[in-house]
Each structure stands twice: as C-alpha cells, then as structure tokens.
C-alpha cells in the first residue's frame, strides 16, 4: 500500500515555490489558489522572507497550496491508496481524497489561518519541541507547568504549547534526557488557546459540501481511518484546538501494511519522522519538480 502525506506549518522556506512555477499551468493554478485563500501566494512563495511567511495566516494557505500543486504534478496517482496530513496538511489530504474541493480546502484554510492568528494575538503563548526523554515524565512536567502536548510526532519528539512563562521554565529545567527547542510560531496551536478559532472555522465549514473519501484517509485525532467526509470535516474543525497524534497515524500506517510514502511539498519533515518510526519503509520527499520522477516510480501500480 503506497500513501501520500502532506506536511504542516513550519515546513515552508523562502522561495521554495519558485521552481514549481516553471511547470506548465502552475502559475495559473497558484493564482486561482490565491484568490480562494485571500492572499498573494505567488509572492509569498517566491519573494517574501522567512519572517513574513512564518505568519500563521500566510504559512497555512501557502503550505496547503504547495502540497496541492505538487500533488497535481504527479502524472499518475492511481497507485496511491491512502492519504494523511499533519495539522494543516489535513486540508490538502482532504482535497486529495476528494472530501473537499480544492476551492473549499483553500478557502477554509485561509479562514483558519486568519482565525488562529487572531486567537494567538490574544495571549503571549508559544510552542517548543521536546526531544527525547520518557514521555510519561514529560507529560507530568507539562501538567505542573500548565502546558499542553500539541503534537505527538513519534520518534521521540513531542511539541508542547502554552504560556511563554511555562515554556521558559521547561527550557530552564528540562526533564532528564530531553532537549527543549523553542519554535518560531505565533502561539499555542492545538490547545485551548485556539478555541475562538474553532468556532470561526466551524461556521465556515458548515457552508461547504463534503464527499466521502475516495481513498483511505487517517485522522490526526487518533490515527484512525475515517470513512465519512462529513465526519472528517468535523475533525478538521476540532483539530485546531486538540493535539495532533501523528504518532498514532504512523502506527496505523504500519498496521495497514504501508509499503511506500510520498511526502508532498514542502517536504522533508514527515519523511524524516517516518525514517525513525517506520524503519525500512521506502519514502520520497517531493521538495522540487526534480523529485517527481522518484515519487512517480514509488507509487506506480506495479511497484
């Protein structure tokens, strides 16, 4: 079983869309995506600097647009039997699975990014990656500091979120065997701090049509496969303020007998996690159009 995975926020870098614009039709497609998302994605992906594209309301539609551009550039996707996305990458996965139209996915992710940016501005919060250590000990320390687990990424990596004071305390006195790395993000995503954004996105999602998935799709909620498009959209909404269980998604990949993984642009992070958690599983990170040949070979029906 070959699958496609779609990355989340933080995977973007300045100018990463530039080589994609050399492909026929890509510039027109990106212009359409920009209209739907309410932001100039061409400029964001080719001209804007790291600080500007780190802005939540820019990064989220930019990443989903890049994922869909690269997804559409794979000439034959019939060998892909499943999809999953990390955090905002679930919107690209939903479009790839036929749950949402591309227009609905880009429109909703534009709304999501703006709503989450607004929620983040209401309090001084942030996120840090905790590498290594005993997970139970880390979670106990988070409870002491009133911090929340935000992303269970597997491979010994947990992203935590909450008030800046708590994150600073965690960094100054880390749990034994861990490293704490502050992340350059605007707020405590996937926690209760994002509750206002959930309500905004829920209202917008109620206006879009959802179809049942054409391929297997796994949810960040608990790693399970979801067969109802309406249910998946509901999970997309709730995901804004709930932890990303990518560790459980990868466990489900293993249980399903996944034999190849293609990560769409801006790729690299999820393939890196898979190399640690799903050792020996062939994987291709589609970072530029030059990677499309390897991705196509991996997902070929007779591979």
| Residue 120 parent element (H or E) | helix 102-120
| Residue 35 parent element (H or E) | helix 26-37
86 catalytic per annotation: no
Q: Residue 219 has which token pair?
A: 């949810």
Q: Which of 31, 15, 124, 125 is nearest to 69 (CA)?
A: 31
The 3-state secondary structure of 154-190, one letter per residue: ECCEEEEEEEHHHHHHHHHCCCCCEEEEECCCCCCCC
Please state the φ and ψ torsions of residue 219, each to the nearest 5 degrees.
-100, 145
Handedness of CA 21, 24, 28, 30 (dihedral sign): negative
Q: Which of 223, 210, 243 is nearest to 94 (CA)?
A: 210
Instruction: Find the catalytic residue in 87, 128, 148, 265.
Output: 87
Cross-strand partners of 157? 131, 154
Instruction: Find the catalytic residue in 67, 86, 190, 242.
Output: 190
Cα Rg of the chain, angstroms: 18
So which residues are the catalytic ones? 87, 190
């Amino acid at each position: 079983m070959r699958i496609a995975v779609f990355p989340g926020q933080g995977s973007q870098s300045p100018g990463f869309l530039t080589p994609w614009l050399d492909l026929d039709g890509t510039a027109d497609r990106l212009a359409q995506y920009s209209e739907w998302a309410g932001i100039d994605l061409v400029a964001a992906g080719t001209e804007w600097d790291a600080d500007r594209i780190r802005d939540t309301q820019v990064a989220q539609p930019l990443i989903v647009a890049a994922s869909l551009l690269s997804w559409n550039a794979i000439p034959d996707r019939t060998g892909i039997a499943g999809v999953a996305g990390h955090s905002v990458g679930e919107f690209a996965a939903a479009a790839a699975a036929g749950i949402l139209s591309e227009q609905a996915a880009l429109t909703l992710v534009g709304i999501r990014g703006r709503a989450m940016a607004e929620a983040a501005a209401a309090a001084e919060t942030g996120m840090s990656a905790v590498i290594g250590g005993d997970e139970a000990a880390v979670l106990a320390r988070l409870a002491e500091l009133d911090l929340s687990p935000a992303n269970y990424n597997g491979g010994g990596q947990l992203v935590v979120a909450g008030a800046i004071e708590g994150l600073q305390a965690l960094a100054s006195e880390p749990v034994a065997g861990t490293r704490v790395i502050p992340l350059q993000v605007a707020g405590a995503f996937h926690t209760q701090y994002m509750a206002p954004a959930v309500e905004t996105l829920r209202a917008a999602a109620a206006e879009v049509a959802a179809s049942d998935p054409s391929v297997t799709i796994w949810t960040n909620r608990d790693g399970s496969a979801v067969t109802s498009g309406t249910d998946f959209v509901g999970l997309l909404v709730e995901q804004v303020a709930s932890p990303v269980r990518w560790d459980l998604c990868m466990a489900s990949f293993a249980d399903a007998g996944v034999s190849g993984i293609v990560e769409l642009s801006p790729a690299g992070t999820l393939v890196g996690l898979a190399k640690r958690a799903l050792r020996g599983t062939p994987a291709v990170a589609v970072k530029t159009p030059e990677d499309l040949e390897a991705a196509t070979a991996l997902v070929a029906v007779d591979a």
